[in-house]
Amino acid sequence: MAAFALLLGLALAAPAPAPAAEATLLLDTAYEPAVEAAIDGAQREVVVGMYLFKADGPPTSRPRALVRHLREAVRRGVRVRVVLETDGRPGQEVARLNHATAVQLRDAGVEVLFDSPRRRSHGKFVVVDRRLCFVGSHNWTQSALHYNHEVSVRLD
């Protein structure tokens, strides 16, 4: 929990009061292109907190596309950090999938942290350049990004 809270606090820390945010509702498949555009436009940093990031599908899967966008951000000199859920229990599916995705992310130059196994972090957020924030129900899985009914909000 400490890593999750620290990164969320750092990502949302503003140097000065900001004007009121504009909120955009992102239903179902509207979420992914909005997040990808924000990552592609990042200049300084991208911070992701994700309960489940399942990038074990084919190269054309939606989660693998997000890995590619994060990789490209790193190549542009953007600092990219991802905090994922883990669990100390052997065979726990979420932890297994997140650890497998972490290998891909680290190979792409992304900093990956895992929250404490003593407490579940179920949040799903993306913060870009300490200005744009996405928060909602979308995990980064093929099901959530392509098939499920999900709802998230973009705050700018």
- In the chain, domain spans: 2-6+22-155
Residues 6 or more apart whose Cβ sits within 8 Å of residue 49: 4, 7, 8, 82, 83, 121, 123, 124, 125, 126
- Reported as a single tens digit per residue, the pLDDT across 64-122 is 999 999 999 999 999 999 999 997 666 689 999 999 999 999 999 999 999 887 777 88
pTM of the model: 0.85
Per-residue three-class SS string for 60-82: CCHHHHHHHHHHHHHHCCCEEEE
H or E segment to which residue 32 belongs: helix 31-41
Architecture of domain 2-6+22-155: 2-Layer Sandwich (3.30)
| Per-residue pLDDT reduced to its tens digit, 3-53 | 666 555 666 666 666 667 799 999 999 999 999 999 999 999 999 999 999
